[in-house]
A and B are shown apart, each in its own frame.
Chain A
Amino acid sequence: MVESNSFFHYTKINISFTMPDIIQLTNVHKAYKLGQLKQPVLHDISLTVCAGEFVAIVGPSGNGKSTLLNLLTGIDRPCQGEVIINGSALNHLREEQLSVWRGTNVGIVFQFFQLLPSLNLLQNILLPMDFVGKLPKPERLARAHYLLKLVGLSGQAKQLPGQVSGGQQQRAAIARALANDPALIIADEPTGNLDASNADAVFDLFLELRNQGKTLVMVTHNESLAQSASRVIALHAGRIHSDEYLLGVE
């Protein structure tokens, strides 16, 4: 089935996956307290994402995209419902357990890169590996170099974030997200703070990750990036307005 969507122009195909579910959201509600009032942000969201999917979450500002990402990363907790990511029910984990869980299971890419300014790019990538300690020490350095090469920053390993461009910082941030080889990559507006050429480089990197079979969930306003996803979920007023699978279009 092929349809046209008024929000983005892309080709939409419903596909059923046989891969295991990596994200399971069941009847999730989220509201924030504003003084005495409760401001609902997400309403009754139920959603499953299979391993290897590349999901773009789209929608106008203030419609719950970032809140949804926060729930997926355990940064926030639902008021109702259940969030199960890669087999872990996040509702039941304490803050400390969530930190450990995130280090192993999720790689996060932020809009403003959020690299530590006093560490060079290589050390920024080593940092999550040091936190988690999954790999033996000598292998961490080799993997950090490998990831830098993957994102095309081998020559900038010893540079501080302040010494490289925004696009290079974001690529380093993606490498950092991949450091512990997480099952899930979550990106919040990864190209939102980049110029066109740098956004393209990051865009290519995400495509490469998609081709490698990584599970990607990304909030974006970038139409091209959204079109390259395998699935687009549109949020509107805190509800899933549409959830559609796309045929990859280059």
Chain B
Amino acid sequence: MFFDINLWPKVSADLLMHKSRSVLAISSIAIGLFIVGTLLGMMDLQLGSMDKAHQQSQPSHINLILKQDADFAVAEPLKNLDGVGDIDRLTQFTAQYKTPKSAQWQTGTVIFRPDYNAQTYDRMTLVSGVFPQKKSMAIERLSARYAGINNGDALEFATATGSETFVINGVLGHPFVKPPTFGGQLHFFIAPELAPLFGIPAHSFRQLLVQIKPPYSEEKARLIAGELRSKLAEAGIGVNATLLQNPEQHWGRAVFSGINLVLTVMAWASLALSSVLILNTVAALITQQTDQIGVMKALGARRWTIAKIYLTEVFILSLIALLIAVPLSWIGAFYSSRWILDLFNIELLGFVYSAKALYLMIAGGLFAPLLAALWPIWTGATLSVRQAISCYGLGADFVSHSFDRWLERLVAGFLPTLYAVALGNLFRRKANLLWTQSVLIIAGVLFIVIMSLIASVNLTLNNELARSHYALRLGFTADQSAELIQNVVNSVPQTTGLELWNRLPVELFQGDKLLRQSGSLGVQMIGLPAATALYQPLIVSGRWFDSTDNQQKRLVLNAATAELNNINVGDTIKVKLLQQPVKEWQVIGLYRGITGNGYAVEPVYAPLNAIQPISLNPSKYTFALLSADITSLDAEKSYVDALKLAFQQQHIKLDFYTTLAKLEQRQFAENQFRPITLMLLGLATLIAAVGAIGLSGTLAISVLQRTREIAVLRAIGAKSMAIFKLFMLEGLFHCLLAWLISLPLAYLCAEPLATKLGITMLGIQLDYVFSWLSVILWLGVSIILALSAGYLPARKATKVSVRSGLSY
């Protein structure tokens, strides 16, 4: 151990006499540790809580979303199917409502379950009040908070016969709900007795929730889901979608696995950056105390004695930083986890911290700074007495390199003297410059990469929207005839075009094996006119449909799924549709999915007239795609509301999940990505703060090292403002230089990094665009950083008196 009680007077004197330097060193380590503790703690708390909440909700392994209402009796025999553990049922439908604050009808989702007190799977928890009973309703926790609706509030709902007012008497937590802040609808709960008021039989269900007998495996669940679909089909019930869930791991894990990997790397990178600052600070300390080292050596101190002094100092600084960072990171991790978990409708109750993050902080916080300080300490400790005690006034440590001469000739020679001094000082201590620049450059590159990632996400969404020429996609809970749809659509004047699509549950095989899927919620076949004018996904290989594909067994597959299964354009795969025998279909194209980290039902596109004869009702369709001249969200909302009303008047129910308005969908996607981009931006800000502390430290050390020089400047007539400007300029030059170097680096790194981040964090292959705006923004941030980081050291420089500086 390097701690030696005999060295304590020197150690304590160094730490106490140079308080500002000690504070700088402590804050450098503390901020790095804070980032490590917050991010690692947040990930630990968040994943742990998500899984725990998921397990507590008793997740269904299979969720079959039916095409129509099915009577409770239909579900009973399914319990006895081989491999089925138990079943539960619920119904979810859309309804129009008015809040006390708004006179306008809005669309919401209404849910009912057979018995709220005996929920088996996907349990909804009571947050406050009571479960829905008789004529009282409950509201979902996030919906209540978003809309400001409380227990006791009355809401008017459009019913099958007119409208009726219901009182909210309970708040429930739903484990699987789209947050309204992302653009989701409000969710309400009713007792089954109220369902007939909305035209739905009380003893019916629309979602079949199933747990299979243990042990769980995705393949087993898929197999049983197939059998369940067959049984339902025998009872004349079609299935719109099949959702599979891992019972142990929360469905949101997929969203976070990539993000967490990136955050972990960034957390340790931050600690590394902080350690660089320690290296810088210790190197400066050694430079400043070179004469003291010389004296101590002349008095008989050995290399190890000298090293022990400075190692003890670094250890004490690290320990203090750790004590500061630990509670702050606990707070940071707790509140950021709470924020993220809230988006997933999970409440983090009571204050908790991550023990794992704490151990990592202790290990990293004590060792990383010591490791970083080792080199400058050893360099100082091995100085000879002669080297250490020689001092020849200003510039004794300044070695004129050819670079300095070049700089003087090419740049500094033409600058006003004050600027030339600041520029010269910038390049004077090359090691300091290198470390400070590396911190600032990394912060800059990261900032530009993150902004390019955000710009690329927007571009990707815009491009995707540009490929979608429809304004609205209506999904029906039960397939509807073309004539009826046409009539209703025609009653809303803005519509300029209509296309009808169909959807069928599908199973895809390669040989005898089911295809592995990139989307975690299964696949569905979407049949659309071969010469569709309203939609074309981004084809990454092969081609999209044209009129030659009419009635042909051809399909366009998700590129990620194709890659997973090593399928190429031109290959044939086996397709099982409904109860039809398996047939061979040809893959003619691969499209890029932008659903984001696989938590979606993945479409497989096929010509409509190739699947329509197979469907249960060949004259009916699942989707209506409408084109209309709409450019604003408000106009879109009015149009959608008008259509919904028109369909409602015809007693046609729209499916909440598959009814998508284009602009609203874009907003939802943006909102969905926002927490991730905000988190990244927050991280970039923290790294920029590390950069600012680093710069401030460098400048503060610069003031300490150049006290004599400041005194000379004072002696030859420099006013306080000139000294102040000198150090502010040095800070500005630091930031401008880092900005200049960041530009080409960021330009080179941004595309591969943003693309990789897009895949890892968002699960999508982005259309890349370099954000030039971020370059300008980073320049602004750099200037602000320079001014804020330079202010205190520059002020301190103006306080240096000539006598103390020259210390005659």
A binds B: yes
Whole-angstrom CA separation of A72 from B801 in the bound complex: 15
Check B722 against A131 for contact (C-beta < 8 Å): yes
Contact of A75 among B423, B425, B715, B718 (CB under 8 A): B715
Check A76 against B408 for contact (C-beta < 8 Å): no
Judge whether B424 is part of the interface by a CB distance below 8 angstroms: yes
Chain B interface helix/strand/loop/mixed: helix
A95 in contact with B801 given A100-B717, A103-B717, A103-B718 (CB within 8 Å): yes
Check B716 against A162 for contact (C-beta < 8 Å): no
Check B716 against A103 for contact (C-beta < 8 Å): yes
Look across to chain B and name the residue whose beta carbon is closest to the beta carbon of A115: B394
Inter-chain contacts of A130 with B (CB < 8 A): 416-418
In the complex, how many angstroms separate the beta carbon of B389 from the nearest chain A beta carbon? Answer: 15
Check A99 against B714 for contact (C-beta < 8 Å): yes
Instruction: Produce 1/0 per residue, A122-138, CB < 8 A to B.
Output: 01001110111000000
Judge whether A220 is part of the interface by a CB distance below 8 angstroms: no
Instruction: Select the stretch in B37-45, B268-276, B399-407 that faces chain A.
Output: B399-407
Chain B, 304-358, CB within 8 A of any chain A CB: none
Judge whether B583 is part of the interface by a CB distance below 8 angstroms: no
What is the size, in residues, of chain B's interface with A at 8 Å between Cβ atoms?
A: 40
Inter-chain contacts of B713 with A (CB < 8 A): 116, 127, 131
Inter-chain contacts of A60 with B (CB < 8 A): none
Please indicate which of the listed interface residues B404, B417, B425, B718 has the most CB atoms of chain A within 10 Å of its own CB. B417
Chain A, 101-125, CB within 8 A of any chain B CB: 102-104, 107-108, 110-120, 123
Whole-angstrom CA separation of A212 from B348 in the bound complex: 85
Check B808 against A70 for contact (C-beta < 8 Å): yes
Check A102 against B715 for contact (C-beta < 8 Å): yes
Judge whether B14 is part of the interface by a CB distance below 8 angstroms: no
In the complex, how many angstroms separate the beta carbon of A74 from the nearest chain B beta carbon? Answer: 8
Contact of B392 among A112, A120, A123 (CB under 8 A): A112
Look across to chain A and name the residue whose beta carbon is closest to the beta carbon of B426: A118
Check B408 against A117 for contact (C-beta < 8 Å): no
Instruction: Produce 1/0 per residue, B699-729, CB < 8 A to A.
Output: 0000000001100111111111010000000
Whole-angstrom CA separation of A163 from B409 in the bound complex: 13
Check B712 against A110 for contact (C-beta < 8 Å): yes
Chain B, 143-176, CB within 8 A of any chain A CB: none
Inter-chain contacts of A163 with B (CB < 8 A): 400, 405
Judge whether A168 is part of the interface by a CB distance below 8 angstroms: no
Inter-chain contacts of A115 with B (CB < 8 A): 394-395
Whole-angstrom CA separation of A180 from B718 in the bound complex: 12
Inter-chain contacts of B412 with A (CB < 8 A): 118-120, 123
Check A99 against B718 for contact (C-beta < 8 Å): yes
Judge whether B581 is part of the interface by a CB distance below 8 angstroms: no
In the complex, how many angstroms separate the beta carbon of A54 from the nearest chain B beta carbon? Answer: 21
Check A131 against B393 for contact (C-beta < 8 Å): no
A116 in contact with B709 given A160-B408, A163-B400 (CB within 8 Å): yes
Whole-angstrom CA separation of A166 from B249 in the bound complex: 75
Whole-angstrom CA separation of A204 from B802 in the bound complex: 29
Judge whether B23 is part of the interface by a CB distance below 8 angstroms: no
Please indicate which of the listed interface residues A107, A118, A126, A179 has the most CB atoms of chain B within 10 Å of its own CB. A118
Inter-chain contacts of B392 with A (CB < 8 A): 112, 193
Contact of A160 among B394, B405, B421, B716 (CB under 8 A): B405
Check A117 against B808 for contact (C-beta < 8 Å): no
Inter-chain contacts of B427 with A (CB < 8 A): 118
Contact of B425 among A70, A73, A118 (CB under 8 A): A118
A123 in contact with B417 given A102-B717, A113-B393, A118-B404 (CB within 8 Å): yes
Check A162 against B393 for contact (C-beta < 8 Å): no
Residues of chain A whose beta carbon lies under 8 Å from any beta carbon of chain B: 66-67, 69-70, 73-76, 95-96, 98-100, 102-104, 107-108, 110-120, 123, 126-128, 130-132, 158, 160-163, 176-177, 179-180, 188, 193
A-B contact sample (8 more), CB < 8 A, given A100-B719, A119-B408, A158-B408? A73-B802, A96-B720, A104-B717, A117-B394, A126-B417, A162-B395, A176-B716, A177-B716
Residues of chain B whose beta carbon lies under 8 Å from any beta carbon of chain A: 392-395, 398-400, 404-405, 408-409, 412-413, 416-418, 420-421, 423-425, 427-428, 708-709, 712-720, 722, 801-803, 806, 808
